[in-house]
Amino acid sequence: MGVWKGHPKAKPRNTKAPYKRGKIMPKKIMYKLYSDDELIFEARKVAEKRLESFSETFTNPSKARQYLVDILQNEKHEVFGALFLTNQHGLISYKKLFFGSISGCSVYTRVIASEALRLNAAAVILFHNHPSGSLEPSESDKSITKRIVDALSLIDVNVLDHIIVGINNSTSMASMGLV
C-alpha cells in the first residue's frame, strides 16, 4: 500500500504544443507511488526537522511567564493548558487543553498525562488565565495543581511550574512554594 504524490519534476506530456487552437492547455502531472518504507523515511525526516526546531527553551521562570502573558492576556474565558518540554526544557508543544467560562474551567488529569506521554515530554509547565485579572491562586487552583503534580510524578514527568496569567502580568505558583 502506498501514497500517491505529485512528482516535483513532472512535465506536461505534450511539450511541443502547449497551445491548442489558441488556448493554453493545462499541465498534466505525473504521479509516483511511494512505498511504505519510503513514506516512513519521509516521516522520519519531518520528525528530525521538528526536533531540530526546538529553539525556545525555558531555563528561567520569567521567560515562560512572559511567553504565556503574550499569548493568553486577551482571552475572554478561562483557558488551561501546558507547555510540554524536553529534558533540557526545550519546547515540544504548547497546548490549550481545557476551555471554561469566565470564572472556571474543568481540568482532567488524565488528559494532561496522556498528552505528556504522547509527546514524550520530560517536564511540563502548567498555565491558566484569570479573565478577571486576579493573580491570586484559588483553592481549586492549588488542589488541581497538587493532583496533577502527583499524577505526573508517577510517570516521571516533572511539573516545573503552574503560571496564572492575568491582564499584562502573571504569577508563578512555584515561586510561592505551591508546586
Q: What is the mean pLDDT of residues 2-28?
A: 53
Q: Using one digit for the tens of pLDDT, what is the confidence trace for 5-15?
A: 555 554 445 55
Superfamily of domain 61-172: Cytidine Deaminase, domain 2 (3.40.140.10)
* In the predicted structure, residue 51 carries a pLDDT above the cut 50: no
Write the burial class of residue 55 (CB in 10 Å: 0-12 exposed, 13-18 middle, 19+ buried): exposed
> What is the predicted pLDDT for the residue at 118?
96
Domain boundary assignment for the chain = 3-52, 61-172
Q: pLDDT by residue (tens digit) across 66-99?
A: 888 878 877 889 999 999 999 988 888 888 999 9
Q: How far apart are CA 48 and CA 89, in angstroms?
A: 18
β-bridge partners, 96: 81
Query: Percent helix, strand, coil in the chain (nearest 5)?
Result: 30, 25, 40
CA distance 96 to 76: 14
* Cell numbers 500517491: residue: 4
Angle at 172 between CA 170 and CA 177, to 5 degrees: 155
Across the chain, mean pLDDT equals 80
Model confidence pLDDT, tens digit, residues 109-163: 999 999 999 999 999 999 999 988 888 999 999 999 999 999 999 999 999 999 9
Please give the Cα distance from 86 to 39 (Å, whole number).
27
Q: How does pLDDT run across 96-114, given as a tens digit for each residue? A: 999 988 778 899 999 999 9
Calculate the alpha carbon distances from 146 to 48, 68, 151, 172 in Å: 35, 21, 9, 14
Residue 47's region, left for phi above 0, alpha for psi from -120 to 50, else beta, is: alpha
**Cell numbers placing 24:** 493554453
pLDDT of residue 131: 87
